[in-house]
Amino acid sequence: HGAGELEELGSEALLRRTPAPAWLPTAKGEEGDFCLRSSDCAAGLCCARHFWSKICKPVLREGQVCTRHRRKGTHGLEIFQRCQCAEGLACRIQREHGPADTSRLHTCQRH
């Protein structure tokens, strides 16, 4: 392989074979893509545990079931983590209408 062949390939082929430097922004992960932290995921997604790895999952919307942790640090024990509620929503006990208000289900609700 001589220098002439290298010129024939052009700069495009060289760019494709050269990995991007760490400081260059890369595409954000889509739903289901592996991640290390939420900043690795696209807007509207967070990085949460799924079995023994972490993937990008959707941030929870109003009315969706959420997880409320009683003790600090218990979030890391789950193997199927959920994202937090979207901005402007809080994870609260779902109130059922009627005398048997014993539900422990939490949903994302407006403040």
In a domain, 17, yes or no: no
Tell me which residue range forms the domain holding 97: 61-71+87-110
Contact predicate 49/81, CB 8 Å: yes
- Single out the residue of 102, 104, 101, 32 nearest to residue 65, CA to CA: 104
Residue 27 has what pLDDT? 83
| Ramachandran angles phi, psi of 14, nearest 5° | -65, -40
Contact predicate 85/60, CB 8 Å: yes
At 33-64, the pLDDT tens digits run 999 999 999 999 999 999 999 999 999 999 99
3-class SS at 12? helix
Cβ neighbours for 65, distance < 8 A, ≥ 6 positions apart: 82, 105, 106, 107
Do 41 and 65 fall within a single domain? no
In a domain, 35, yes or no: yes
In a domain, 76, yes or no: no
At 69-97, the pLDDT tens digits run 766 655 556 789 999 999 999 999 987 66
In a domain, 43, yes or no: yes
Contact predicate 110/62, CB 8 Å: yes
In a domain, 103, yes or no: yes
Contact predicate 35/54, CB 8 Å: yes
Give the Cα separation of 17 and 24 in Å (integer). 16
Do 32 and 47 fall within a single domain? yes
